[in-house]
Amino acid sequence: DAKTTQPPSMDCAEGRAANLPCNHSTISGNEYVYWYRQIHSQGPQYIIHGLKNNETNEMASLIITEDRKSSTLILPHATLRDTAVYYCIVRVGDNNDMRFGAGTRLTVKP
């Protein structure tokens, strides 16, 4: 699986958009980009995933660059409850093992 690089921490003002970057420069053509988050003491929670096209769901948007070497997770209107560690992971789609890095600790401030 390709490795990912994320900033260790970020701050965001409540109500503003949170943009979390992820670099995956060695991603393969059949590897998807997944995003999870982990709120303190809970299990990781799936947010969104994509292959090439941008994706949007009720939680977030995922923007993947055309060369697929990086992506951005967007929380359009961050709330205090979005404070968590966010993990960007790449893996082959057919359910191979999923390995987590250190993630980005997002702190949403009032």
Partner 1 sequence: DAGVIQSPRHEVTEMGQEVTLRCKPISGHNSLFWYRQTMMRGLELLIYFNNNVPIDDSGMPEDRFSAKMPNASFSTLKIQPSEPRDSAVYFCASSRRGSHNSPLHFGNGTRLTVT
Residues 26, 28, 45, 79: which binds partner 1 (CB under 8 A)?
A: 45
Q: List C-alpha distances in Å: 66 to 51, 63, 100, 107.
A: 11, 9, 24, 29
Which region, judged by CB under 8 A, interacts with partner 1, from 7-15, 17-25, 45-53, 59-67? Answer: 45-53
CB nearer partner 1, residue 77 or residue 99: 99
Which region, judged by CB under 8 A, interacts with partner 1, from 7-15, 20-28, 44-52, 72-80? Answer: 44-52
Query: How many other C-beta atoms lie within 10 A of the C-beta of residue 62?
Result: 22
Question: Binding of partner 1 at residue 94 (CB under 8 A)?
Answer: yes
Tokens of 60: 């977030």
89's enclosing H/E stretch is strand 84-92
CB nearer partner 1, residue 66 or residue 97: 97
Which region, judged by CB under 8 A, interacts with partner 1, from 4-12, 13-21, 57-65, 88-96? Answer: 88-96
Would you say 73 and 62 are in contact if contact means Cβ atoms under 8 Å apart? yes
